[in-house]
A and B are shown apart, each in its own frame.
Chain A
Amino acid sequence: MHGRPRKPLKPEESAASIDKANKLRALQSQFYHIHHNKIYDKEALDLSAKLLEMNPEIYTAWNYRKLGVESNLQSLSDPDSIKSLLDEELRVVESALRQNYKSYGAWHHRKWVLRKGYSSIEREFRLLDQFLKADSRNFHGWNYRRFVAALQNVSDEEELKFTTDKINANFSNYSAWHNRSVLLSHLLNRKAQGFVPREKVLSEEYELVHQALFTDPDDQSGWFYHLWLLDQTVNQDTTLLISSWPVHGLELTLSNNRTEDVRLSSPFPAFNLDNFVHKEGVPLILYFNQAVEGVNSSTVTVNSMLEKNENLIWKPLSTNKSGKAHSWMTYLKIPDVRNSALKAHTIEVSLGHSQGIISSRGCHCIHPTCFRFTLNLQFNDSENMETERSTEMINWKDENFVTSDAFLQDFTPTLLRFNQLTINEGYVSTISNWHVETLENEIALFRELLSEVNCKIAKLTLARLLMSLDIVMSSGAICKQRTHTKEVLELFNDLVKMDPVHSRYYKDQHSLLLMEQVTSDEESLAKHFWYYKELTSSLSQTNFCLRLNKLSLSRIGFLERLLWIQMLDLSHNELHSIEGLESLQLLIYLNLSHNRISCFTALEPLRLIKSLRSLDISYNEIGIHSIDTTRYLCSSPLSHTRASDCHVEEHATVNVEVANYWEALLIFKDMRLTQLDIAGNAVDNENFRMLLVKELPSLLWVDGARVK
């Protein structure tokens, strides 16, 4: 019972309770009689009114009264008697609401009566004033207010004024701030009179919310509104291509040659065909700043000798079925070049010339963008074209990775080329002085507040403001150095200690920013590059490994800067999710060992990486958790995103409970792994391995042991 103390009833109370129960029971049984026999005379209606006054939650009694009204209205024609009949309903509702103002049934009954159009709306506003005075957070009251305002065609401006009054009466009124955000976004979106320019309105709103925040910094009500204002301020509503693979100006050598070391002549951009190309071709990846739809051969033009533009099929890289994604991919087919030793093709990609590409926020990608790259096709041994090489086993031991200054010197110029994200050089940002000044003003204000009180949410807001300022200042260029990163990282460290209840929220934010820092320029990225020396083959590029291990990462991001990575070590972090990794379409070797991945469903992004061959997920937490937190973020029959294709009978030959492993089968079945490391997880046992070997025909090594 909400808010009722736990204590035995006193004798007089129990006597009263028994008395009340008897009365209620008698009323209820009489009520069933009149309801089931459709009796709607005055006496019967009075009985139902009494019942509802005692217990407004009996929905059937409200239904009965509606039937009664409809039946009795048939015999009435003059408006006055209709009105008085309906007024009686309003009276019953009002007294029920005074008993329990949270009764859904009572509020709905009132709406039902009001819709008949005979009642005074003015009276409703007066009643609402009483209810919202008694409890200014009553969401039934606020809903009802929106209902009568719509019925009466009250303007958004007037309702906005009502929220101002409510807020001025008490800043701690989240309901009023909420309604304000709804009304104000309507007014701003339709550029209503007095609500342009947008900047002026937002500045006034900042003023209003500051009063609330400075009056009581520990009250949450205003802070959420402030976050919304910040979003309104920095959200530029522009859709841009921010990264691609191949990048602009890249000379890419594609080779099927395994004996000659192409790396020497062209250290980095030499890719071996069969790792990712296979039968489909060379991947072409576009990465946008927002999830977009509408990428196709009419919105993106690819000029090349290899294939006609209209034959290209673009696919969103997304783990959901929305049809929207940050990154999109198509394959360029490799022509038959067996007779020519070396052929160079220039490929030009352009977009933004038409309106078709649109983000989930509804804005079009209309900034014209164009980039070019060259493909050098080098085939010496035509026999090997059709067959995939047998992948060697990767051993992620530290001693297999080397680095040296000389190596880095060699390497940095190439990296620079990969990070040459100058796609949007011609883009003129819509950021104005107002944006920068507003953010700087907010930053100064909250620094001042924090010098007086230690308030976690003020600190978090300061961190968000500093990050926003950095983004605004570097808008358009994704790799421009951010100036406040260090300070913000410190703020998140403070917050972890200050608000331990939410420490992992701050750690995740910290981790994202750390990813930003590591990937922000060539110099810092180069520090994480290693050369894998165990690989015996001549595959040049795959010898380079990006090692982001042992960084306490709990979340990954900024993957648009890493689209070209083929070997990635994320081991010894605190990752429980790899959301976003699906963008790395060239990835072949991935190490996720010693993290906190707790379910196979968390590996859903990997299903989209067709090139992946070697996966190390050893020493994670798979199998020890009873609750799967990514159960609904992966395609499965549970979310109706995939038909059930792993029934128990099919696997009857393997002596395992397939229902227990459906996630593993859903995830791994579409992949073509040759190597899987899974030791050190609770799920790992002999039966499970047997199932994997049986279901995954491509698998050659499990935990370092040859299985085929």
Chain B
Amino acid sequence: MREVGQARPAKVMALLIIIKPKIVDPAFPTYIFRLKPKEEGIVYFSFIGYFTEQTTSLFLQVPKSRNQTSGLGMGELEIDKHVQYVLAVEKKKDDFESLVMEHLRMNGAYWGLTTLDILQKLGSVDQDAVVSWVMSCQHDCGGFSGNVGHDPHVLFTLSAVQILALFDRLDVLDIDKVSSCIAGLQNEDGSFSGDIWGEIDTRFSYCAICCLAILHRLDRINVEKAVNYIVSCKNLDGGFGCTPGGESHAGQIFCCVGALAITGSLHHVDKDLLGWWLCERQVKAGGLNGRPEKLPDVCYSWWVLSSLTIIDRVHWIDKDKLAKFILDCQDKENGGISDRPDDAVDVFHTYFGVAGLSLLEYPGLKAIDPAYALPVDVVNKIFFGR
């Protein structure tokens, strides 16, 4: 026996084959491994402290994680701390990080408020104050800006409409004015610009379509052309990019699949091909990445999961492992969720983590709709109520 120190990297580890778990003591499941070295020589285990020479079997004991039996098998969601965190972010405006985000406060408000609603704590917000601030960001053209003093853009118009929907206050809107503004952004080829400056992206197609659907005004645009443009951004891996030829990216896929779902056009999606690409976003540790060979990040819990849910392939990933990854990214002391464990938290990742847990059916959370990105009860009210 030699101490591990010069352990060889992952390549050799790939040769390790688990034959079967042999359970004697449930607290210490024993696994039998067979090692098949690629070449003659010594194979090291870098993670257990044993090594063996040449092809052999060995027994080793892996201590079972303590929480494996409780509920989803991991730590708990710190609901109260996240609520406190989100409420504090709403108020905080002065430090550098808040200032950097100031121009997209409308998005921030949507992330924070939707998080609170999923956590069933939307009541702790001063509704009237939020609604009047949202309305103060509306421009003469009908669109909304990211904050007072900024320019209107479809990204923020959608967030504004979603916030009003959360509070069931769509009545404060001049719906025709907002829809005209959005319809005016559609281009001849069916694509959408984000604002008058002409940047084109399938993200904006989603924003426009989702927003108009919530307002019951999809008839204001040419839906067929809008769908055809999105389909023209479909790639050979089944995913979607931001413009034709653009590389598939989970965030972009959510936008395109979401827009196709809302317009009843999912037949343009190869569900098995895309589903496999998406489920392969789950890395061994349980988290999801947004593109092949990238690091996992909590925000993809939303982008990937919502897309997989819409096309009914979400069972192709390991939900418990993903939930554990999200919970591991919580700041258990001060609330909030980060992109990866032990990174700094922000409201964006807090929302995507909580929304992801909602799609994973974590107990005690409101269900979220995978296409409209609003709680299911809010969406049902829009389409089945009244």
What residues of chain A have their CB less than 8 Å away from a CB belonging to chain B?
1-7, 17-18, 20-21, 24-25, 28, 32, 35-36, 55, 57-60, 62-63, 66, 104, 108, 111-112, 137, 139, 142-143, 146, 172, 174-175, 178-179, 181-182, 185, 217-221, 224, 227-228, 231, 291, 318, 320-322, 324, 452-455, 497, 500-505, 508, 576-577, 602, 625-627, 629-633, 635-641, 644, 646-648, 658-659, 662
Contact = CB atoms under 8 A, between A and B. Distances in A.
Question: Of residues B198, B265, B315, which shows the largest number of chain A Cβ atoms within 10 Å of its Cβ?
Answer: B315
Contacts of B318: 500-503
A104 B280 contact: no
A174 B367 contact: no
Contacts of A220: 280, 292-293
B266 A632 contact: yes
B222 interface: no
Interface in B117-157: 145-146, 149-151, 153
Interface string B358-386: 11010001010111000010011101111
Interface stretch (B23-31, B74-82, B98-106): B98-106
A216 to B, nearest CB: 8
A267 B321 CA distance: 54
Closest A-B pairs by Cβ, 9 of them: A641-B264, A626-B367, A632-B261, A639-B264, A21-B96, A505-B316, A322-B267, A220-B292, A320-B267
Given A220-B292, A228-B237, A638-B371, A21 B343 contact: no
Interface string B318-335: 100100000000010000
B8 to A, nearest CB: 14
A500 B21 CA distance: 13
B100 A24 contact: yes
Interface stretch (B54-62, B166-174, B184-192, B244-252): B244-252
B282 interface: yes
Given A172-B293, A320-B267, A324-B267, A178 B237 contact: yes
A316 to B, nearest CB: 11
A469 to B, nearest CB: 19
Contacts of B241: 139, 143
A174 B247 contact: yes
A318 B379 CA distance: 26
Nearest to B289: A220
Given A63-B151, A139-B242, A627-B358, 8 more contacts: A1-B97, A137-B294, A182-B235, A217-B14, A626-B358, A629-B309, A632-B311, A648-B384
B317 interface: yes
A502 B280 contact: yes
B310 interface: yes
A635 B10 CA distance: 48
A218 B280 CA distance: 12
B3 interface: no
B343 A1 contact: yes
A21 to B, nearest CB: 4
Nearest to B96: A21
Contact of B338 (A6, A20, A35, A505): A6
18 contacts: A3-B340, A6-B331, A24-B99, A25-B99, A35-B149, A55-B100, A62-B197, A108-B199, A142-B247, A178-B237, A182-B236, A291-B267, A637-B383, A639-B262, A640-B263, A644-B384, A659-B381, A659-B385
B314 interface: yes
A178 B247 contact: yes
B292 A501 contact: no
Contacts of A32: 149
A471 B197 CA distance: 51
Contacts of A1: 97, 338-339, 343-346
Nearest to B93: A25
A32 B317 CA distance: 47
A638 B17 contact: no
A498 B346 CA distance: 36
Contacts of A644: 383-384
A638 B284 contact: no
A172 B291 CA distance: 12
Contact of A104 (B199, B236, B293, B379): B199
Given A59-B146, A219-B293, A220-B280, A637 B384 contact: yes
Chain B CB within 10 Å — which of A632, A636, A646, A659 has the most?
A: A632
A497 to B, nearest CB: 8
A640 B293 contact: no
B361 A501 contact: no
A198 B225 CA distance: 32
Nearest to A217: B14
A21 B95 contact: yes
Given A137-B291, A502-B279, A639-B263, A633 B218 contact: no
B215 interface: no
Contact of B317 (A55, A63, A179, A502): A502
Contacts of B312: 577, 602, 629-630, 633
B277 A224 contact: yes
Given A5-B342, A321-B264, A20 B96 contact: yes
